[in-house]
Chains A and B, each alone.
Chain A
Amino acid sequence: MIPEGMRDVLPAEAAELRAIEQIVLSRFNAYGYGEVRPPALEYPETMERAGVDVASSGFHLYDERGRALVLRTDLATAVARLAAERLSERPLPLRLAYEGPVYRTEATHNRREGEFSQLGAELLGLGAASADAEVVVLLCDALSATGLRGFRLAIGSVAFHRELVAALGLAPDDSDDVFDALADRDYALLETIVSRRGVSDEGRKTLQRALDLSPGKGALSAARKLSSSEGMDEVVERLVAVQELADDAGYGDLVGFDFGLLPELDYYTGIVFEAWAPGVDFPVAMGGRYDRLLAAFDWPIPAAGFTIDLDRLHQALVDEGAGVAPLFAPTLSYIGGLDDPKRVGDLRRRGIAVAALPGDASAHMPRLREDRGEFLLEMPDATTRGSWRDVLRVLGDG
């Protein structure tokens, strides 16, 4: 029995998850992101600085002096805390990567798992559009490296909403309603609000165009036409720059723009993005710019980053029919066992998994045995007879 919302991971799945983790972390490393490992337990105040409702979403416990602790609900926040406390003397920018499980109570989020693994990268200390583009490109690179093909990245901007509401001349109350409607993706309500509030026909059309469903450069050029203030110009120019840099990196086709994108967490301050793959009920990855989070830890520097949902990424790969090369190779059973440690050792050094006790000769494993001076390798699809060298050739490098 295990608690509700928890689950066990068995060898076949674990091997694939481990392989994905290694691919993604190696892509993070290739861009200069160094791994950090914050602890599983944090103080609730730490997690609350990101605006997370820890009281209802966290698993709480107490240390021996009665001080409240919480299992981390989010790694990006824990990494921001770690960076502000431990790395604030280092030269900027800082590139940090992380991997590990986070814990949330079921009642407070729209997914079934109480524990799930995040893989993420954060670029601290740069506020430029090129930094936005770097994390977008890194995400595309890392997801592509796992073999995922059908994913698309939708990019929006929190700043765009702010500027849009200002441009339409809505009162603060109405603008809250518009934000809520956008956050709920309630476009029908949005239309009602805007038509009720005496926004000009012109304004309504531009709004509709900006929230148009067609992703990609179309939305961006519509936004350009909409641009009526310096603030809006800046937002749009920034997104154009991100698009161009993503194009240059060869990921332009994977990137689209969606001005209806508004994440629940209000710590984002600029660009926001979500990566989606077919058949998955939750984004495979999400991220953006959060220039105020580090300030909440008394280190006011800009930052951008993203988090990949390891389980959703794995699910998307399985749905796509993509093979994930597991690091855990099928085990070979070597009959002859421990009385021939040299041969067994030779195989294991080559990365071929060997179970070598007499009881290991189960029918579903490939079997290797010695037979009158030669070796007999019985695989599910073929049997090879020959010298030790022949055996190694057939097994390849594992």
Chain B
Amino acid sequence: MTLRIVVPDGALRVPSLELFAAAGFGDDGRPADDGRLADEVRPAADARPAADLDARLSVVAAADVPAYLTSGAADAGLVAKDALLERATRLCELLDLRFGAGQLVYAVAPGAEVRRERLGRLRIATRHPALTRSYFRARGLQVSIVPVDGTLDRAVSDGLADGVVALVETTPTGSAPAGVAGLTVEGVVAETSIRLVTGRGARVLHGAELGVLVAGLRDVLAGRTAS
């Protein structure tokens, strides 16, 4: 059988395909339905020969990957941990691929404390409303969540919100991460990185093939850590 793997479009596309290419899966990592890849992804010089696994990669919108896996339209895919948590999907995580790492942090504007004192609750802009809700509920804090699609620190500077729960790349402690510039980081809501994910059905129906895939990717990751 052919293992159908979906890879997210956008910033993660190239690193994702490079990883599969390095592990020797899926025709040098070049999905059949994406001509642009030829220029962007070259098989690594040390790429292993393709394992004994027939895999077909295809690139889909990042937000659609969970739906492909839940419905059984694809057998494996790459999803960021924060997206898994936000959607509370019932998918199986097979492997932490360790790229696309970051933190979902809670950060507030200067003067937010005064607003909290006088108005009782802060307005928090976020693209992760579900995670934000459970984070504050678990701490007994009442906030008003402002779901936004645009730039989060802009939501604060434009007066839409008093703080944000925003995704930032992992940076050395102490420095203000890009994305929440000018804000004070108050806490970490969740850690994230890209995960190899499968649906519950695919795990039962294609367990052996997924095992080969995981072993191959695990080897590449071990090599990266060592070098």
**Interface on A for B, CB 8 Å cutoff?**
110, 150, 152-154, 184-189, 191-192, 212-215, 256, 258, 260, 274, 276-281, 283
Q: In the complex, are the beta carbons of B71 and A281 less than 8 A apart?
A: yes
A278 to B204, CA, bound (A): 10
A186 touches B93 (CB 8 A): yes
Query: Which one of B73, B93, B211 lies within 8 Å of A214 (CB-CB)?
Result: B211
Residue contact B203 to A213, C-beta cutoff 8 Å: yes
Interface residue tally on B, bucketed by range:
20 to 34
> Which listed residue (B90, B94, B201) contacts A110, Cβ 8 A?
B90
* A277 to B: closest C-beta gap in Å: 7
User: With contacts A153-B204, A215-B204, A279-B71 known, what are 4 further pairs, Cβ within 8 A?
Assistant: A110-B90, A185-B93, A188-B94, A280-B72
CB-contacts of B70-111 with A (<8 A): 70-73, 81, 90-96
- What is the minimal beta-carbon distance from A352 to any residue of chain B, in angstroms? 39
The prevalent SS among residues of B at the interface is helix
4 closest residue pairs by CB, A with B = A185-B92, A213-B211, A188-B96, A276-B201
* Residues of A contacting B: mostly: loop
Report A-chain residues with C-beta under 8 Å of the C-beta of B30: none
Which residues in window 177-227 of B have CB below 8 A to A?
Answer: 195, 199-201, 203-205, 207-208, 210-211, 214
Contact assessment for B211 and A212 in the assembled complex, using a CB-CB cutoff below 8 Å: yes
Closest to A181 in B: B93
CA distance A58 to B211 in the complex (A): 39
Chain A residues positioned under 8 Å from B72 (CB to CB): 278-281
22 contacts between A and B (CB under 8 A): A153-B204, A154-B204, A185-B90, A187-B94, A188-B81, A188-B93, A189-B93, A191-B96, A192-B96, A213-B94, A213-B210, A214-B211, A215-B208, A256-B207, A274-B204, A276-B201, A279-B71, A279-B73, A280-B72, A281-B71, A281-B199, A283-B200
A152 close to B204 (CB less than 8 A): yes
- Closest A residue to B92 by CB, please name it: A185
Q: B201–A214 contact, CB under 8 A?
A: no
* Nearest residue, chain A, Cβ from B75: A278
* B190 CB, min distance to chain A CBs, angstroms: 12
Docked-complex contact B205 and A278, CB < 8 angstroms: yes
Output the least CB separation between A199 and chain B (Å). Answer: 18
From residue A298, how far is it (CB to closest CB) to chain B in Å? 34
Nearest CB of chain A from residue B221's CB, rounded to whole Å: 12
Contact (Cβ within 8 A) B73 A260: no
**How distant is A320 from chain B, measured CB to nearest CB, in Å?**
12
A189 to B214, CA, bound (A): 15
Set of chain B residues within 8 Å of A274, measured between Cβ atoms: 200, 204
Q: Are A276 and B205 in contact (CB under 8 A)?
A: yes
Q: Say how far A154's CB is from chain B's closest CB, in angstroms.
A: 4
B208–A258 contact, CB under 8 A? no
CB-CB under 8 A from A256, the residues of chain B are 204, 207
